């Protein structure tokens, strides 16, 4: 497990150059910094269209300190597959990391992602999930939660959230995990564990977006932490054939220890129209999700 004193060596390193074009309080940059820290800068990023392709700023300068390939929307896993094969053919042992948003992963680029997972390409795929198409103006995506406001679902989204991490687990890839920007130590550990194995690695990173979810800029980390503490976001990891609930989420297996879901919902403007019944419905959904995951953990631990 990585410690703060180990990370102190990066204390004065600019992992991302200050002066980016991101909104104040952007969760993607928190995640990117942790990712670069975890892999010690030895990575190539493949970034499809989305917020992360705007963040570097204007040419001839960039804010990212690692090599970046900006690719069309649906092609990021395919480009990364080619890139990693070219690197391995030349004898380079770096990591190729796809840093994609939820739209590029769950909706538009899903066919290419499924193909890359099926071929078990040696890439790390990180889905930075801000739960809508934030860059184009908050349109609902496949991972937007039920009843959330977006510009294309003004009365609350009717469909349920796609559980991309579980879909990827069923592709029988060697490593699948969920993470949150509020738990950097957990995320860095997961990235390092993923980097230590060959094959397709998938990490689903929860990233609350202040303008899209309609909460104040300074609550980014607080909202991400509340999502875990209320049980709305479950941190788990599938590694070496075992599915485990990660340490930050472990206490919340017991329903009594979870914070009330209202705390997470009332802090966000996108859930402002929710009634008491809606909250109860979401609570039932969360309980069901935990049930599924705990049963899966049992199944995977026996075999």
Partner 1 sequence: MIKVSSIYVKYLLSRPAMGAGGKTGTWRVRKPIVNLDKCIKCGLCWLYCPENAIDWLEDKTVTIDYDYCKGCGICVDVCPVKAISMIDERVV
CB of 266 to partner 1, least distance (A): 17
Residue list 4-43, contact with partner 1 (CB under 8 A)? 4, 7-8, 11-12, 14-22, 24-30, 33-34
CA 56 remoteness from chain centre: 19
Helix (H) or strand (E) holding 238: strand 236-239
The CA–CA distances, whole Å, from 104 to 2, 7, 72, 86, 247 equal 30, 31, 9, 23, 29
Select from 1, 60, 91, 154 the one that contacts partner 1 (CB under 8 A): 60
Nearest CB to partner 1, comparing residues 59 and 302: 59
Residue list 169-188, contact with partner 1 (CB under 8 A)? 184
Q: State the Cα–Cα distance between residues 138 and 276, nearest whole angstrom.
A: 25
Q: Does 254 bind partner 1 (CB under 8 A)?
A: no
Residue list 64-83, contact with partner 1 (CB under 8 A)? 64-65
Phi-psi region of 178 (alpha: psi -120 to 50; beta: other; left: phi over 0): beta
CB of 55 to partner 1, least distance (A): 8
Q: Does 216 bind partner 1 (CB under 8 A)?
A: yes
Stretch that binds partner 1, among 42-50, 134-142, 214-222, 274-282 (CB under 8 A): 214-222
Nearest CB to partner 1, comparing residues 121 and 131: 131
* Peptide bond just before 60 cis, omega within 30 deg: yes
Q: State the Cα–Cα distance between residues 147 and 264, nearest whole angstrom.
A: 14
Select from 59, 158, 170, 302 the one that contacts partner 1 (CB under 8 A): 59
């Amino acid at each position: 497990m990585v410690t703060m004193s180990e990370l102190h060596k990066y204390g004065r390193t600019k992992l991302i150059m200050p002066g980016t074009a991101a909104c104040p309080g952007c969760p993607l940059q928190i995640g990117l910094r942790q990712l670069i820290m975890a892999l010690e800068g030895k990575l190539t990023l493949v970034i499809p269209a989305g917020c992360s392709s705007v963040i570097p700023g204007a040419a001839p300068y960039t804010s990212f300190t690692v090599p970046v390939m900006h690719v069309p929307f649906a092609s990021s896993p395919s480009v990364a597959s080619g890139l990693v094969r070219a690197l391995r053919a030349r004898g380079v042992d770096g990591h190729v990391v796809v840093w994609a948003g939820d739209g590029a992963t769950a909706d538009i680029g899903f066919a290419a992602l499924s193909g890359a997972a099926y071929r078990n390409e040696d890439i790390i795929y990180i889905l930075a999930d801000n739960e809508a198409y934030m860059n184009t103006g908050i349109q609902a995506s496949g991972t937007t939660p039920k009843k959330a406001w977006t510009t294309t679902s003004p009365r609350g989204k009717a469909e349920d959230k796609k559980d991309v991490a579980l879909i990827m687990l069923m592709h029988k890839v060697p490593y699948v995990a969920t993470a949150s920007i509020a738990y950097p130590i957990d995320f860095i550990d997961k990235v390092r564990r993923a980097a230590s194995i060959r094959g397709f690695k998938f990490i689903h990173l929860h990233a609350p977006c202040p303008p899209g979810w309609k909460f104040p800029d300074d609550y980014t980390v607080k909202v991400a932490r509340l999502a875990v503490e209320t049980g709305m976001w479950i941190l788990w990891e599938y590694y070496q054939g075992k599915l485990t609930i990660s340490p930050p989420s472990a206490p919340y297996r017991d329903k009594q220890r979870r914070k009330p879901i209202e705390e997470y919902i009332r802090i966000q403007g996108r859930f402002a129209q929710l009634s008491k019944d809606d909250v109860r419905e979401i609570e039932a959904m969360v309980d069901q999700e935990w049930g599924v995951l705990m049963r899966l953990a049992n199944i995977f631990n026996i075999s």
